[in-house]
Amino acid sequence: MTQLNEDQLIKIRRHLHQIPELALQETETHAYLMQVISEMNQQYLEVREFDELPTAIMVLVHGENPRRTIGYRTDIDALPVTEQTGLSYQSTHPGVMHACGHDIHMTVALGVLSYFSEHQPTDNLLFFFQPAEESEAGGKRAYELGLFKDKWCPDEFYGLHDNPELPAGAIGCRMGTLFAGTTEVNIDIEGKGGHAAFPQDAKDAVVAAANLIVQVQTIISRSIDPIDSGVITLGKIEAGTIRNVIAGHARIEGTIRGLTQDMILLIDRRLQEVCNGIQASFGVKVKLGLNQGGYWPVENNPELTKRFIKYMHDTPTVNFVETKPAMTGEDFGYLLAKFPGTMFWLGVDDDSQLHSATLTPNEAAIQRGVDAITGFLEYRMSAKEEQ
């Protein structure tokens, strides 16, 4: 196979779109990716699979005169969404869909890899096809399993996410945080149930929960600098069985979002302090569970991102857009906390939002994305760029 052209890339994307799989279950996707990669020129490629993370793939493109290893990551999993696009190539897996555009992500990565399989890069390039972004924190798993070692360790890392709000093929980025970090919040309140007519003999978990919810709202408004950004949303509460019985247990579930890891840790601490206060005030037991996993804020490296933005801004063939931070989560944030790098948007021009059952990315974005990224990587590796 020579370098993949636009028609071939669209065909690949449509096949990937038909075979979406959930986190850590991407076996058919893995097999198809391996097939496409195996048909490329293998002269400069070294492919690695992992028993400990079976659906992951790494491809090392050996550079001609390497000074560094530049990493490029794409996620490969899908969502438990029933597709409603009506496309001729819609999902053939019931209840599962590439509703976040990871089929676009993979196809762009394959296009970039195909280019460098035919045009040996100066530096080493490491392509990481990562499972389990939507859940199960595949990036963190890969790091903790020690997959990034020796020649498989990038000196810097790049990755994209598609954006329906940007024109097809546009590149969006910003200095600082691109995506917020997320933390799952689970709060269990254990009181003492009783008859509604005898509240003095009970410890009402509903009243304790209500006060906790109200107090939590003050964390953002009174503990966080107004210039900074943070969110706590308590979206689910369960308590009680019948109207005339005082509930002995309540469970509250929610999420924390913050633009820096320091912000998230501050919110975590204040939330624990509120829980401790409710426990003391109402004589109940309050258990707080916080699960961040690998979903850290996507904090772009200042030096690398400044260089990335300069290239995209100065290149006439690239439609560059400076974007605002988003409160959505992405597990690439964990890897950017371990390796310097940059995440950016690729516009796909669609009326539907990410995670929507009707998401239909504009496929014109694929080749434009490949061209922008290959151009940037060539620029990054050039002697002129180092001056």
- Tell me which amino acid residue 288 is: L
Find out whether 64 is annotated in a ligand binding site.
Answer: no
62 known ligand binder:
no
**Tokens for 351?**
């009326």
Query: Cβ(357)–Cβ(84) under 8 Å?
Result: yes
249 is in an annotated binding site: no
Reduced to 3 states, what is the DSSP secondary structure of residue 179?
Answer: strand
Of 21, 12, 362, the residue nearest 162 (C-alpha): 362
Cβ burial 321-360 (10 Å sphere, 16+ → b, else e): bebebbbebbbbbbbbbebbbbbbbbbbbbeeebebeebb
Best CA proximity match to 303, nearest among 226, 380, 192, 382: 380
Position 234: which residue type?
L
* Bridge partner list, 158: 72, 342
SS3 content of the chain, % helix, strand, coil (to 5): 35, 25, 40
Strand, coil or helix: 357: coil
Q: What is the DSSP letter of 91?
A: -
> Which of 1, 14, 167 is closest to 104 using CA atoms?
14
The catalytic site residues sit at 75, 134
165: annotated binding-site residue? Answer: no
382 Cβ contact partners less than 8 Å away, ≥ 6 residues apart: 122
CB 147 within 8 A of CB 56: yes
**DSSP string for 180-229:** -EEEEEEEEEE-B-EETT-GGGSB-HHHHHHHHHHHHHHHHHHHS-TTS-
Is residue 100 marked as binding? yes
Distances from the Cα of 151 to the Cαs of 48, 59, 123, in angstroms? 12, 11, 12
Annotated binding site: 100, 102, 134, 161, 355
Annotated binding site for Mn(2+): 100, 102, 134, 161, 355
